[in-house]
Amino acid sequence: MSHPHPELGPPPPPPENGLRIVALGGLGEIGRNMAVFEYDGRLLVVDCGVLFPEPDQPGVDLILPDFDYIRGRLDDIEALVLTHAHEDHIGAVPYLLRERRDIPIVGSRLTLGLIESKLAEHRIQPVKVEVIEGERRSFGPFECEFVAVNHSIPDALAVAVRTPAGLVLHTGDFKMDQLPLDGRLTDLGAFARLGAEGVDLLMSDSTNSEVPGFVTSERDIAPVIDDVFRTAAKRIIVASFASHIHRVQQIMDAAEKHGRKVALIGRSMVRNMGVARELGYLKVPAGLLVDSREIEEWPPEDVVLICTGSQGEPMAALSRMANRDHPIRIAEGDTVLLASSLVPGNETAVSKVINGLNRWGARVVHKGNARVHVSGHAAAGELLYVLNLTKPSNFMPVHGEWRHLRAHARLAELTGVPRENIVIAEDGVVVDLVDGRARIAGAVPCGYVFVDGTSVGDITDVALKDRRILGDEGFISIVVVVDSTTGKLTGGPEITARGSGIDPDAFDAVIPLIESALQEVAAAGVADEMQIRRTIRRTVGRWVSDTYRRRPMIIPVVVEV
């Protein structure tokens, strides 16, 4: 079993008649999925998603894949294949198309409909190539065959990539629900046929590789939803992913059955469900939907609100309702249904929202107290099934954190994939498929690219560290005026603090220390502004640490006269 090493160096030139694969996201993390295939100097990209920030990344809106590896070769890209329309697979597409707008976007009807709607907000008109399951399309040296897979969004596809170097099957996100709501099964026959042809490398979804057995069918949560509707005394507020069309359909069906009207809350929810309805993936009974602005006119027992915010996102509708920062006010007797899985890392934020909703008297139904969600990702039993069907010569787990990748690798070994043919890679690791064998060939730089408002890539790890310090410890600013020639103190120091928790009067004790330190510097003939700032920072930092055991950000300001 080969795996990355921290000291991997740059890879050699791509091997002749070999296929090179570099993941720019999605390995060792949940999200930011993006894989680049290279053959004979041409590139094929599969997915281009975002990662959502964690609490220790304050101010960050989104995290993108690092495009540096392909930035100088954008004209070599034959196509961008999108396996499905979840944000962790399509969210970074607008940022890639800013750099080359005419990259052909390949996907199913719904996937293209949702990405086109998203790109319209960025004023980008994409070059679309619509495909269906069972279809084969060639893009330069890459022949792509598309296979239907079942997931928590309709119209998801796996893609088999054929080149002279071999056949690679990329499953995308999938599960094997045998009673899917839309009747569209994962095409196990196609997987078996590809396995008979000879899969040289299987790249398979690892998200649920630690979960034994098979994932529960979507249909199994219908009775729970029905029970929520039957017992709810007043309004029902459902929080879901804005792309979870199956779940929204279930909620609408239950609303119709129980005589309630439905309003969609949130821009992304309204946009996505509008596209799904227009394309026929969402069936909305006549008269069921009402405008959210009219919802207050209806009796509480007659309405259902469907909104975003199931992950505790601060600016999403549900979080704002919990904080009383939304036109819709949670009231005693309301029922809130969190109809989504919990993305790792969001536990604290979701718990805070649940507590906020309970504070205002709502009954909150969530995965912890009812079966209101089933995963969209195959569990270990399903992954074993696919491994046995496809019989890959080489295996590379994708789409998961380290524990998921390693668990999936163990499953592959159990099915007979030779240990030395199992490649566990991380973002930026270069994998070459040559003569039927996949091997790690090196690594390329592949960091996080942070989006903060309109800023893309300007926020660095250093800036995030500063933000964390400011949030945890506050700051102290010290302004001094010095003689530009001698470095002697001529004014100040004036000290201002915010968020440090230190009484302003307490700084009287550090002023003599600053004056003494600056006198010593001036006596040594030092008038350099940088040295003066360093002296102030060291003096104040030591005093704060010794006195208060704190480490606020210290910002010296030196004015030369």
Query: 375 among the known binding-site residues?
Result: yes
Q: Dig out the tokens for 403 from the structure.
A: 């524990």
Indicate which residue of 47, 177, 200, 205 is catalytic.
205
Of the candidates 467, 441, 469, which has an alpha carbon nearest to the alpha carbon of residue 552? 469
pLDDT confidence band for 354 (50 / 70 / 90): confident
Query: 336 among the known binding-site residues?
Result: no
Indicate which residue of 246, 366, 377, 404 is catalytic.
377
Q: What share of the chain is helix, strand, coil (3-state, %, to 5)?
A: 35, 25, 40
Q: What is the pLDDT of residue 254?
A: 95
Pick the more confident residue, 476 or 39. 39
Query: 399 among the known binding-site residues?
Result: yes
Q: What backbone phi and psi angles, to 5 degrees, belong to 276?
A: -60, -40
Pick the more confident residue, 409 or 486. 409
Q: Are 480 and 489 spatial neighbours (Cβ–Cβ below 8 Å)?
A: yes
Query: 122 among the known binding-site residues?
Result: no
Q: Is the pLDDT of residue 407 over 70?
A: yes
Of the candidates 394, 393, 391, which has an alpha carbon nearest to the alpha carbon of residue 422? 394
Q: How far apart are CA 485 and CA 462, in angstroms?
A: 33
Q: What is the pLDDT of residue 430?
A: 96
Q: How far apart are CA 511 and CA 427, in angstroms?
A: 50
Number of CB atoms found within 10 A of residue 513's CB? 15
Of the candidates 11, 96, 99, which has an alpha carbon nearest to the alpha carbon of residue 46? 96
Q: What is the pLDDT of residue 1?
A: 59
The structural domains of the chain, ordered by start, are: 19-213+376-450 (3.60.15.10), 218-365 (3.40.50.10710), 461-560 (3.10.20.580)
- pTM for the structure as a whole: 0.84
Q: What is the pLDDT of residue 392?
A: 98
pLDDT tens digits, one per residue of 414-428:
999 999 999 999 999
Q: Is the pLDDT of residue 383 over 60?
A: yes
Q: Are 539 and 532 spatial neighbours (Cβ–Cβ below 8 Å)?
A: no
Q: How far apart are CA 85 and CA 476, in angstroms?
A: 46
Q: What is the pLDDT of residue 53?
A: 73
The number of angstroms, rounded, from the C-alpha of 343 to the middle of its chain's C-alpha atoms is 9
Calculate the average pLDDT of the chain: 89
Mean pLDDT (whole number) for 69-89: 96
pLDDT tens digits, one per residue of 285-306:
898 999 888 887 889 999 999 9
Q: Is the pLDDT of residue 433 over 80?
A: yes
First to last CA, the chain: 66
Query: 343 among the known binding-site residues?
Result: no
Q: How far apart are CA 306 and CA 322, in angstroms?
A: 15
**Is 377 a known active-site residue?**
yes
Number of CB atoms found within 10 A of residue 325's CB? 10
Pick the more confident residue, 234 or 353. 234
Query: 373 among the known binding-site residues?
Result: yes
Q: What is the pLDDT of residue 73?
A: 95
Mean pLDDT (whole number) for 238-257: 91
Q: Is the pLDDT of residue 472 over 80?
A: no
pLDDT tens digits, one per residue of 169-220:
999 999 999 999 889 999 999 999 999 999 999 999 999 999 999 998 988 8
Write out 50-62 in H/E/C secondary structure. Answer: CECCCCCCCCCCE
Query: 243 among the known binding-site residues?
Result: yes
Q: Which single residue is written with the structure tokens 């396995």? A: 195
**Is 40 a known active-site residue?**
no
Q: What is the pLDDT of residue 218?
A: 87
Strand blocks (E) in 296-385 = 303-307, 335-338, 363-365
pLDDT tens digits, one per residue of 502-530:
888 888 888 889 888 888 888 888 778 88
Q: Is the pLDDT of residue 266 over 90?
A: no
Q: What is the pLDDT of residue 342?
A: 62
Strand blocks (E) in 302-428 = 303-307, 335-338, 363-365, 394-398
